[in-house]
Amino acid sequence: MTTIAVILGSTRPGRKGEAVAHWVLDRARARTDARFELLDLAQHRLPDIDEPVPPARGHYTHDHTRAWAATVARYDGYVFVTPEYNHSLPGPLKNALDRVYAEWNNKAAALVSYGWNGGVRAAEQLRLVMGSLQVADVTAQVALNMATDFRDLTDFAPAAYQDAALTTMLDQVVAWSTALAPLRTAAA
């Protein structure tokens, strides 16, 4: 069965992303066409990139990098839950993406962003990174606005229309993850 990681890209204390990621997981786990698992970067605590060789060469020297590579490799696709920090994605997410290379290739990704403008600038920058990692990012996206999807800017309470956006996005990431399976098999 297709397995997709819901990657929680913020490690900040008090982060809003945890509630967002659990909302995604609750709806995703009701599906029968794929298995969804949470991958919380706060639980992986990757140091800044410390590998002497670029990740595209696949020569990982540190245990934490090899463990991260094995974790990334076991998924067929990803749903990235990212805040927008200073018009971009958070550093820990970028560090996690840049640490390994081939393990991301020929997979699909979907984006759930949040922030004052729905986190769309972080999502757009994340799309650039996806292209470099040979990850096919789907068009449908969920953009959660702090003013309309968080009660008192604190409690996550997505507007009703966000459920339909999430369903469309999940449909696409499952379809693309499944369709890319022959490329992953050929590369292995």
Q: What domains are there in the chain, each with its CATH number? A: 3-187 (3.40.50.360)
Residue 51 CB neighbours (<10 A): 16
Q: What is the pLDDT of residue 78?
A: 98
Give me the mean pLDDT over the 115-130 stretch.
97
Percent of the chain with pLDDT over 90: 96
The predicted model gives 29-35 an average pLDDT of 97
54: exposed, middle or buried (Cβ count in 10 Å: 0-12, 13-18, 19+) = exposed
Model pLDDT, residue 174: 98
pLDDT: which is higher, 134 or 45: 134
Reply yes or no on whether the pLDDT at 188 is more than 80.
no
Supply the pLDDT for residue 104. 98
The half-sphere exposure of 63 on its side-chain side, counting CA atoms within 13 A, is 0
pLDDT band at 185 (very low <50, low <70, confident <90, very high): confident
- Non-local CB neighbours of 56 within 8 Å, separated by 6+ positions: 101, 102
pLDDT of residue 156: 98
Return d(Cα 36, Cα 30) in angstroms, integer: 10
- Whether pLDDT at 24 is above 90: yes
- Residue 77: predicted pLDDT: 98
Average of pLDDT values for 9-21?
Answer: 96
Predicted local distance difference test score (pLDDT) of residue 186: 83
Q: What is the average pLDDT score of the chain?
A: 96
Check residue 121 and give its pLDDT: 98
pLDDT the model gives residue 111: 98
